[in-house]
Amino acid sequence: MFTDSDTNGTTSESRNRTPFVAVAISVVLILLGGVLYSRGSSTPAADPARPAATQRNVDTVAFYGNGQLKVLSFYANPVEVKRGTHALVCYGVSNASTVQIEPAIGETWPSTSRCLEVTPTKDTEYKLTARDAAGREETRTVALKLAR
């Protein structure tokens, strides 16, 4: 059996395997590096946005009453109208089971943001009463005036 060898004694068969071995070792090193990098970058301490997000959640829960009845808003827009024109009476409640507005201006229900259209014929003070399942209640008033 004859083999082709150069002056250094290296056969052509060993010269042909060298690039494949180098490529295989490179691929293994890249994969191993990727695994090690991904494990190190997924730790909770490396997430700088987490404390701010947690604080936003705490602030949001507090804004909505921390599970307690809360009137978020009650207002008229505009607060003064000409006779025969419309205005909006808007309310928002959290953790309420019922909502009532007097004088009645339409069907009401618990909502964080809802507006009802009104056409007052005289200066009117609206009273919002929100109640929770435990019987606690909160009231607010808003005045809507007719332009003179």
pTM, to two decimals = 0.63
Q: Residues with Cβ < 8 Å from 64, sequence gap 6 or more?
A: 70, 72, 94, 95, 112
Give the 3-state DSSP-derived string for the chain, with helices as H, strands as E and coil as C. CCCCECCCCCEHHHHHHHHHHHHHHHHHHHHHHHHHHHHHCCCHHHCCCHHHHHHHHHHHHHHCCCCCCEEEEEEEECCEECCCCCEEEEEEEECCCEEEEECCCCCCCCCCCEEEEECCCCCEEEEEEEECCCCCEEEEEEEEEECC
Instruction: Give pLDDT tens digits for 87-126.
Output: 999 999 999 999 999 999 999 999 999 999 999 999 999 9
Residue type (1 letter), 2: F
140, 70 Cβ separation under 8 angstroms = no
Instruction: Give pLDDT tens digits for 26-68.
Output: 777 787 777 667 665 544 454 566 688 888 888 888 888 888 9
**CA 98 – CA 66 distance, rounded (Å):** 18
